[in-house]
Amino acid sequence: MEIAKVFSLFIVTAIAEIVGCYLPYLWLKQGGSAWLLIPAGLSLAIFAWLLTLHPTAAGRIYAAYGGVYIGVAVVWLWLVESIKPSITDCVGVLVCFIGMAIIMFGAKHA
């Protein structure tokens, strides 16, 4: 069950990071309100705090988190930006998840 908890925490962390970066993008590139910077800053603060909740060494967490971030970003592309992921997007996410698993599960034996 620990694996599901960590993976869920990765997903929530990725969403906080993406929201924190997407809102300034809307302001700078899409003509959104500068008020978007307030929730963006809050979301990035939550992102940083969430990283502290992970149960193992920070460097390993950041490396494994990167794989989940990529997967969540592709889902974001589809659900928020209405761009259907390509087959290469999906294969790339799968490769990243495999890399994440190697980092996380290999650490148990190191």
Q: What share of the chain is helix, strand, coil (3-state, %, to 5)?
A: 85, 0, 15
For residue 52, what are its two tokens? 């502290």
Whole-number Å distance between alpha carbons of 60 and 11: 16
pLDDT surpasses 90 at 65: no
pLDDT surpasses 80 at 107: no
pLDDT band per the 50, 70, 90 thresholds, residue 5: confident
For residue 8, what are its two tokens? 């869920």
Please write the tens of the pLDDT for every residue from 21-52: 999 999 999 999 999 999 999 999 999 999 88
